[in-house]
Every structure is written in C-alpha cells, then in structure tokens.
Amino acid sequence: MMHLAKTRFTRFVRKEDGHASLEFAIMFPIFFVVMLSAIELGMMTLRSAYLERALDIAVREVRLSTGNPPDHAELIQMICDESSMIPDCETNLKLEMIQVNPRAWSTISDTVTCTNRAEEVDPVTTFVAGSENELMILRACAKIEVLYPNIGFGNLVQKDDAGDAALVAMSAFVQEPQ
C-alpha cells in the first residue's frame, strides 16, 4: 500500500500538466498591482504637472499685471482655466498667498490648507494681495480622487477622511512696480 502511494506521489510530482496555470496564479497578482500602480502614479504626475503649469501661468499674470492684481476668485478661475486635468477644480482648489520679508526671512508653515469633502467648507485661507516690490508666496492645494485607493500605490498615498489625495504646488514672485 505504501509503495502504491509513493509511486502515485512520484508520478504526480514529475508531471508538468498545469505548470503554466500555477505560474500565472502566482505572478499575475504581482504584475496587476504594478500595472495599476503605474496608472495611478501616471495620473497623479499628470495632474500635478497641470497644476504646476496653471499656477505658473497665473503667477506670471499676477506678477506682470499693471493696475489691479486679481482677487482670490479671479486667481482660482485663472488656475482652473489652465488646469483641465483637475476635476471640479473650483471647489477642490484652495489658495494661500503669503507675504514674506526677504530681509527677515521666516519659514512658512509646513501644513498646507486643503479642502476636505468630509467636512464643511472653510472660508478663504490666508490671502494677502501684496503691493509693488513685495515677495509673495502662492501655494495651491488641489484634492483629487485616488483611482485605486486600496491597491498598490493608491494604498500608500496619504488620504483625507473622504479618500482624496492632495496635490500641492507653490510659487514665489515679486510684483512688478506699476
């Protein structure tokens, strides 16, 4: 009886039927997670690049504006017009404009104020429209929905209570004299 069991076990081990199925079952989840992570990272990078570019264009307009600099709502509209990859941009974008003294430098806060769909809407953050020859820092934070929140890279991204990730862009400029 033991000899028969040993013979059948040896025959089972030597057979190569189903070998490809076993390899597929082991390797497919790994490749699938890597593929979804690449898609997630690509979309986040694309949206971040669009936000950076839109902020640069808006800052150029503010810096070179002669007359009245744009207010908070106009600045958000300028950024959202240029950044087409950020969904529902007007409600998901928050701006901070901070006046900084370059001769007595003090660092700005590391915590960025962003929107949170899980909470009530906050009023406008620190937004000081500077005057001529003042150093200003404009920080934009856009919240985006993570495509695959529980898989690969999407699982590692820091998210808020609503499951959104923050994209932050920052630009410094000096307003030109009139």
User: 18-69: per-residue pLDDT in tens?
Assistant: 777 888 889 999 999 999 999 999 999 999 999 999 999 998 888 777 667 7
- Confidence at residue 130, expressed as pLDDT on a 0 to 100 scale: 64
Give this prediction's pTM.
0.78
DSSP 75-95: HHHHHHHH-TTSTTHHHHEEE
pLDDT tens digits, 64-107: 776 677 888 889 999 999 998 898 888 889 988 888 887 777 77
154 touches 161 (CB < 8 A)? no
- Confidence at residue 9, expressed as pLDDT on a 0 to 100 scale: 82
Contacts for 130 with CB less than 8 Å, ≥ 6 apart: 69, 97, 99, 136, 175
**Is the CA virtual torsion 151, 157, 158, 161 positive or negative?**
negative
Instruction: Please choose, from the candidates 62, 60, 64, 133, the residue with its C-alpha nearest in 3D space to the C-alpha of residue 103.
Output: 133
Q: Cα–Cα distances in Å, from 99 out to 49, 58, 175?
A: 25, 17, 11
